[in-house]
Structure 1
Amino acid sequence: MNNKYKLLALDMDGTLLTSEHFISPLTSEWIQKAKEKGIHVCLSTGRSFESALPYGEELGLTTPMITVNGSEIWRAPHDLHQRSLMDPMLISVMHDLAVEEDCWYWAYSVERVYNRDKWVDGIEGKEWLKFGFHTEDDDARHRILMKLQELGGLEITNSSPHNLEVNPQGINKAAGIQEVCGLLGLTMSEVIAVGDSMNDLAAIQAAGLGIAMGNAQQVVKDSADFVTASNDEDGIAKVIEQFIFV
């Protein structure tokens, strides 16, 4: 066995999960094999803790988790290590921008997810983690991106070509994995990071081995050390087999 890598940091949507949002039996089997070899398997997702946890439980993970693109880092399930909040004023500005562009939008607060259909009364009274925009209108998305960049102080990524995800500046999956490494006594050179979207890019660039899924956005593939099979072709199982069991 190759002991070079000790931490496997996995994005969820488009990576760990199939297009039907489940973990394939083969991928689950290889993750169990990695765990048995002493590899730490860390979910690193844009999802909320509540949304990610069932999958962690399904895999029997007791290791750290990174949720909301790094705005929350969990020492273990239900054991919060670090949380980075967003200024409510920025949430208000982004909400106005989303309404102006007539696009789908959502926002994560500590207690729940709000969206265009169910928005919040009183932005100021909540603890905010992330804001997201979704539109298939490329021009509208570009206008939103330009205005977000003008605002400054934001970490702007995506989890699909049609959305924009916004966290506080400096909050991303790479910083989250770095924090997890500190908890586990590891270095980034001992990390394999796998993902498919722009919110995985920093992690893929910072890890000892950065891997893009076969279904990844092209810019992510271009930055990766290796491109594996797609999320519907057990790309994660192939990564474990190829880079951990060698």
Structure 2
Amino acid sequence: MDIKAILLDFDGTTLQRDQVFISVRNMYAIRKALDKGIYIVPSTGRAENMQPPQIEAEKRIRYYITSGGARVVDHSTGEIIHEEILTPEDSARMCRVFEGRNIYTEIAAGGRIYLEKAVADHLERYPVPSHHVWFIEAGRQIVIDEPSRYFSENGIGIEKVNMYGIPAGLQQQIYDEVEHSGVAHITDPVGENMQFFPQGLDRTRGIRKLLDKLGISMEQVMSIGDSVLDAEAVRASGIGVVVGNAPQWLKDEADFVTAPFDEDGVAIAIEKFILNEG
């Protein structure tokens, strides 16, 4: 099969246990695929400026499918190829779900991460994910006083929202507020950590927009993932690959099950199907 692009999930798929760096073997395989003229396309729930440092440093990787497909960009030029985001008005409305409730919340918009100032001023009190510390220490976040007012007044639409350490007494209430909003959808069960995306978001729409631009068909794509967010791409691609730590239902739908994320599963798949070494 003439594979011309690899769609690559990161968390639970390509990254090591630290969820920051890519193993030497995985990165070597990625670079060898690039040498062969294969497009490597991050296809992830992360915002544009939260991509792994090794990916950002590899300038041959220019197209990013981010925030679960809400935003597809040419990272080298800033061109927006596809967007499915909340309107500024709906963004303001959804910010009021967590605003002022002392919840560590990362708001993705325009490829950047925004934090509520009341929270950002006292990060030591909040459960900042360990694999996000590098991002915070690098000062990449934008701190804003009142998110609802900021997005409304500046005409900015939200791509996705991640909430961490939600108090037990607020978890069901927040879940219900998002799910009943009619504009956003939570992808997780009720719990202390939840994320939401625009209602009806379909990652494959953004993928197909990018592939049209590149003159590539889905049959010429290998997708590698581990979760429900990767499922549609795995099903639609010429070669759908899932790592060994993926749930069994997703393994059953894949063309190939590789090793788990922490055993260089991505490298094994690339070696087998792209580099012809397995």
Distance of aligned partners of 1:217 and 1:97 in 2 relative to their CA distance in 1, 3 Å threshold: farther
**Matched-pair contact (CA < 8 Å) for 2:97–2:178:** no
Distance of aligned partners of 1:96 and 1:153 in 2 relative to their CA distance in 1, 3 Å threshold: closer
Distance of aligned partners of 1:166 and 1:78 in 2 relative to their CA distance in 1, 3 Å threshold: farther
Establish whether residue 171 from structure 1 lines up as the match of residue 169 from structure 2: no
**Using the alignment, how far apart are the partners of 1:48 and 1:197 within structure 2?**
17
DSSP 3-state at the match of 1:38: coil
Equivalence map 1:224-235=2 (5 Å): 224-235=254-265
**Using the alignment, how far apart are the partners of 2:213 and 2:102 within structure 1?**
42
Please tell me the residue identity of whatever aligns with 1:244. Answer: I
Query: What per-residue deviation string (whole Å, max 9, x for no partner) do you get for residues 65-116 of structure 1?
Result: 1122222212352332333331234334433434698754321122742346
> Please, which moves more after superposition, 171-180 or 140-149?
140-149
Distance of aligned partners of 1:135 and 1:58 in 2 relative to their CA distance in 1, 3 Å threshold: same
Equivalence map 1:102-181=2 (5 Å): 104-110=104-110, 112-115=112-115, 117-118=119-120, 120-121=145-146, 122=149, 123-126=151-154, 127=156, 128-134=158-164, 144-154=174-184, 156-157=186-187, 163-181=193-211
**Matched-pair contact (CA < 8 Å) for 1:65–1:75:** yes
Establish whether residue 94 from structure 1 lines up as the match of residue 116 from structure 2: no
- Alpha-carbon RMSD across the aligned residues, in angstroms, is 3.1
Instruction: Give the structure 1 partner of residue 17 of structure 2.
Output: 19
**Matched-pair contact (CA < 8 Å) for 2:178–2:185:** no
Unpaired segments of 5 or more residues in structure 2? 121-143
Instruction: Give the structure 2 partner of residue 195 of structure 1.
Output: 225
Instruction: Give the structure 1 partner of residue 51 of structure 2.
Output: 52
**Using the alignment, how far apart are the partners of 2:253 and 2:192 within structure 1?**
20
Shift of residue 27, structure 1, vs aligned partner: 0.8
**Matched-pair contact (CA < 8 Å) for 1:155–1:172:** no
DSSP 3-state at the match of 2:266: helix
**Using the alignment, how far apart are the partners of 1:199 and 1:120 within structure 2?**
32
Instruction: Give the structure 1 partner of residue 123 of structure 2.
Output: none
TM-score by length of 2: 0.73
**Using the alignment, how far apart are the partners of 2:79 and 2:31 within structure 1?**
24
Shift of residue 145, structure 1, vs aligned partner: 4.3
Task: Name the % identity.
Answer: 30
Instruction: Give the structure 1 partner of residue 139 of structure 2.
Output: none
Distance of aligned partners of 1:61 and 1:242 in 2 relative to their CA distance in 1, 3 Å threshold: same
Instruction: Give the structure 2 partner of residue 77 of structure 1.
Output: 76
Shift of residue 238, structure 1, vs aligned partner: 0.7
> Please, which moves more after superposition, 30-39 or 79-88?
79-88
Please tell me the residue identity of whatever aligns with 1:124. Answer: S
Shift of residue 22, structure 1, vs aligned partner: 0.6
**Using the alignment, how far apart are the partners of 1:10 and 1:205 within structure 2?**
14
Query: What per-residue deviation string (whole Å, max 9, x for no partner) do you get for residues 198-240 of structure 1?
Result: 3222322332222222223455445433322122111110111
Establish whether residue 244 from structure 1 lines up as the match of residue 265 from structure 2: no
Distance of aligned partners of 1:199 and 1:141 in 2 relative to their CA distance in 1, 3 Å threshold: farther
Distance of aligned partners of 1:103 and 1:79 in 2 relative to their CA distance in 1, 3 Å threshold: closer
DSSP 3-state at the match of 2:263: coil
**Matched-pair contact (CA < 8 Å) for 2:14–2:261:** yes
Distance of aligned partners of 1:218 and 1:140 in 2 relative to their CA distance in 1, 3 Å threshold: farther
Query: What per-residue deviation string (whole Å, max 9, x for no partner) do you get for residues 111-134 of structure 1?
Result: 742346235422412412212234
> Please, which moves more after superposition, 179-188 or 115-124?
115-124
**Using the alignment, how far apart are the partners of 2:225 and 2:182 within structure 1?**
26
DSSP 3-state at the match of 1:15: coil
Q: Tell me which structure has the larger Cα radius of gyration.
A: 2
Query: What per-residue deviation string (whole Å, max 9, x for no partner) do you get for residues 177-199 of structure 1?
Result: 11111111111121111122332
**Using the alignment, how far apart are the partners of 1:63 and 1:197 within structure 2?**
24
Distance of aligned partners of 1:244 and 1:129 in 2 relative to their CA distance in 1, 3 Å threshold: same
Query: Which one of the candidate residues 210, 228, 233 is aligned to 2:240?
Result: 210
